[in-house]
Amino acid sequence: MSTHARHHQPATVTVLGLGPMGQALAGAFLDAGIATTVWNRTPGREAGLPGRGARVAGSAREAVAASTLTVVCVVNYDASDAVLRDEEVTAALKGRTVVNLSADTPARARDTAAWAERHGIRYLDGAIMTPAPSIGTPDAVFLHSGPREVYNACRPVLAALGGTHTHLGEEPSRAAAYDIALLDVFWTAMAGYAHALAVARAEGVSGRELAPFAQGIATILPPLFEEFAEDADDGTYSGGINPITSAASTMAHVVHASEDHGIDASLMRVIEGQARRVIARGHGGDGFIRVTDLLSRG
Ligand code: NDP
């Protein structure tokens, strides 16, 4: 049971949105002994939650009125707007706290924080960086941004969700900014892997054969992330033993090998193109991460 639940009985929380993530959040609150009310736009998505003690509200207004803290976890901010900006729901939320764990852009987070302020709603914006099964376990990762005082007040209840919670600052879009940047890393890596599996397959190499070596590539990345982050922050792009001229040449090999098999190489063509532009501007001796500078400045 959370500290809050032990010392400030009774802690109450409402979860709006019962997709896989909303269900996991509600389940973790229930497991921590917190009185939990749930609501979902489409009825019948509460799965086993009522059997575990959840109260199912008949409307979003009724749901938010049941608790001092409402956690929203729907597909995006169009969806959270559709729920929260309903006149009756907004009125019922006045003086209460909303933690929005739905994913969207930093601009949408800023807009929602401004809306909450206009309506006297205490607002924290958040992002969940790990999949639904991690919720309630030490593996879960949550990012939060918004007023420190609101975060501190919610923290004991949020602790029921397990894992690590990081408050990234008062600017409400910080969590979404991290989320977008980290999704960028994830999905471009996944796109690279999907492409690599297709190229390997075309050459008669199975995914299982490639996977151990792909994992070897993955272990090279963590120290490079550190080093490149410092280069990008400091504007020091020394190519050292791996200048971008050499990197562009290996990218061209991937393009040619793919296209020999009729495999779309447009992703690698884009990356090679960026490297060639860096070289054309006289920075061929710099490292690959000089591309960050190219993208930032155009
Ligand atoms: P989905 O992203 O599939 O979203 C489904 C939920 O959104 C349902 O509750 C659905 O209601 C609701 N919804 C969609 N449109 C509307 C609308 N117009 N009005 C009201 N509700 C609406 O489900 P998840 O639970 O997987 O994800 C929720 C959030 O958590 C997303 O932002 C996702 O990116 C994030 N997340 C999810 C992870 C995961 O492992 N699933 C991991 C990390 C983050 P209905 O049932 O009525 O359609």
Strand 164-167 relative to strand 141-145: parallel, antiparallel, unpaired?
parallel
> Is the predicted pLDDT of residue 11 greater than 90, yes or no?
no
Alpha helices in 119-161 (DSSP H): 148-158
Checking if the pLDDT of 1 tops 50, the result is: no
- Which ligand 1 atom is nearest residue 102's CA? 32
Amino acid at 229: A
Q: Find the range with the poorest average confidence among 143-152, 225-234, 259-268.
A: 225-234
pTM over 0.85: yes
Looking at residue 6, what is its pLDDT? Answer: 44
- The average confidence (pLDDT) of the chain is 95
Residue 76 alpha carbon to ligand 1 centre in Å: 7
Mean pLDDT on 159-185: 97
For the chain, domain boundaries: 3-171, 203-297
- For ligand 1, say whether the CB of 131 is within 6 Å of any of its atoms: yes
The CA 166 to ligand 1 mean position distance, Å, reads 22
- Give CA separation, 210 vs 6, 18, 69, 190, 252, in Å: 51, 38, 48, 15, 21
Cβ atoms of 79 and 103 within 8 Å: the answer is no
pLDDT value, residue 10? 67
pLDDT at residue 297, rounded to an integer = 86
Q: Which atom of ligand 1 is nearest to the CA of 23?
A: 25
Query: CA-to-CA distance for 42 and 184, rounded, in angstroms?
Result: 31
End-to-end Cα spacing for the chain: 52
Q: Is the pLDDT of residue 200 over 70?
A: yes
17 CA distance to ligand 1 middle (Å):
6
- Cα 277-283-284 angle, rounded to 5 deg: 85
**Cis ω before 10 (30° cut-off from 0):** yes
Pair 47, 18: CB distance under 8 Å: yes
Same fold, 3-171 and 203-297: no
Residue 236 per-residue DSSP state: -
Distance of CA 85 from the midpoint of ligand 1 (Å): 17
Query: Using one digit for the tens of pLDDT, what is the confidence trace for 245-297?
Result: 999 999 999 999 999 999 999 999 999 999 999 999 999 999 999 999 999 98
- Whether ligand 1 lies within 6 angstroms of the CB of 132 is answered as yes
Structure token digits, residue 107 = 């601009």
pLDDT exceeding 90 applies to what percent of the chain?
Answer: 93
Q: What is the pLDDT of residue 298?
A: 79
pLDDT in the model for residue 5: 42
Is residue 182 in contact with ligand 1, taking CB distance under 6 Å? no
- Per-residue pLDDT tens over the stretch 88-104: 999 999 999 999 999 99
129's tokens: 């960086």
**CA separation, residue 30 to residues 17, 53, 211, 281 (Å):** 16, 7, 39, 58
For the segment 24-67, what is each residue's pLDDT rounded down to a tens digit?
999 999 999 999 999 999 999 999 999 999 999 999 999 999 99
Residue owning the nearest CA to atom 37 of ligand 1: 21
Instruction: Tell me the C-alpha distance between 135 and 130, whole Å.
Output: 8
Query: In the CATH hierarchy, which fold is given to the domain comprising 203-297?
Result: N-(1-d-carboxylethyl)-l-norvaline Dehydrogenase; domain 2 (1.10.1040)
Going 278 to 283 to 287 to 291, the CA torsion angle's sign is negative
Which numeric CATH code is attached to 3-171?
A: 3.40.50.720
Tell me which of 40, 72, 75, 161 to substitute to probe ligand 1's pocket, judged by most ligand atoms within 8 Å of the beta carbon. 75
Type of residue numbered 93: L
